[in-house]
Structure 1
Amino acid sequence: MAFRDLIPWSRQENRLPGPVSAERERESQPHPLLSLHRDVNRLFDDMLRGFGMPAFGGFDRGLSWPHVELAETDKEIRVTAELPGLDETDVELTVEDGALTLRGEKHAEVEDKDRGYSERSYGSFERRIGLPQGIDRDKVTANFKNGVLTVLLPRTEAANENVRRIPVNGKAA
């Protein structure tokens, strides 16, 4: 079997006109093992994505770091981010254009020549979190303790006035 036989799209794109023999019909069908291989890869990609691991199909490492939690009440929005190995001086926070931006840089503690193997990641990061209307930008506070950053974004009074609670009935209309 040639390598080109493993590529399912090459046979379908280069289809020749004319009568179809049984052999050509068989060649035009995707190989069942290729379909199984694709499905297993998709299964593992979906499973590992939940653990923050890179997918087999592509490397999405760092796209969702730092990991955050969002909590919302009528008075404020609380954003908590895990930033292990960082100090408050390594992190920059901004609120602009309807988004909270966390950016910073994690530096390596040892030089590359001293490191034999490492699964730790270093470098710059930036995470933007969209915010609803009605955040009081002047009263935003941040606290950093034990590698956990907590940002409190208070709502303005006007933001609470525009909220309408809708009752949910158990009966069908």
Structure 2
Amino acid sequence: MSRIIARTEPLLGLEALRRDLFDDGFFRSLRRVSMPTTDVYTEDDQALVVESHLPNFAETDVTVNVDGDQLVIQAERHEREEDKKKYVVRESSSSFYRSVTLPDQAQQDAITAGFANGVLKVTVPLARAATPRAIPISSDA
């Protein structure tokens, strides 16, 4: 009677599953989707600028609000496609939310926003900060 000993690799199946899911499968298509990005910077200490890159959103999909000391940017898009011949309805939606804390010197009444080529640019003017001044010290105090 001969015995055959077969060596098994229990983790080999997991590697194949990982490859199927992430390299060739469902999640591969998700990796191609780019997430909107937001850049926050100052211009010469005169204004705070918030740029949100919102591809595939229209200007009517975007709202900008000030809530207390927060600048809130929201975008929401809904699509509906119907094919009456096949009785198929495809619906999709995407949304974006970003909140930025405004500095104390922000002039909230003068905030402006513009939308061009999929980029929302919000400009928050900043009040001029008090500059420190030297106080002379006299010796006869």
1:99 CA displacement: 1.1
Cross-structure match for 1:156: 127
Map of 1:70 onto structure 2 = 40
1:130 aligns with 101
Question: Aligned letter for 2:59?
Answer: E
Amino acid at match of 1:72: T
> Which sections of structure 2, spanning at least 5 residues, go unmatched?
1-10, 12-29, 134-141
Q: Secondary structure at the match of 1:103?
A: strand
CA shift, 1:163, in A, is 7.8
Q: Is the 8 A contact 1:91 1:105 kept in 2?
A: yes
**Larger Rg, first or second structure (1 or 2):** 2
Shift, 1:114, TM fit: 6.1
Partners of 1:162 and 1:133 lie apart in 2 by 15
Among all aligned residue pairs of Structure 1 and Structure 2, give the percentage whose two residues are the same amino acid: 35
Distance 1:162 1:97 in 2: 26
Q: Could you tell me how far 1:72 is from its partner in structure 2?
A: 1.1
Unmatched segments (≥5 aa) in structure 1: 1-32, 34-51, 54-64, 116-120, 165-173
Matched, 1:81 2:42: no
Cα distance change on mapping 1:155 and 1:85 into 2, 3 Å: same
Matched length: 98
Deviations along 1:143-167, one digit per CA (max 9) or x if unpaired, are 100111000000013xx21689xxx
Deviating 4+ runs (over 4 angstroms): none
CA distance in 2, matches of 1:161, 1:70: 23
What is the Cα-based RMSD across aligned positions, in Å?
3.2
Higher relative contact order (CA 8 A, sep 6+): 2
Structure 1 residue 126: Cα displacement: 2.1
CA distance in 2, matches of 1:163, 1:111: 65
Which protein is richer in strand relative to its size? 2
2:68 pairs with 86, 97, 100, which one? Answer: 97
CA–CA distance in structure 2, aligned partners of residues 110 and 83 of structure 1 = 22
On the 8 A contact 1:67/1:82 being kept in 2, the answer is yes
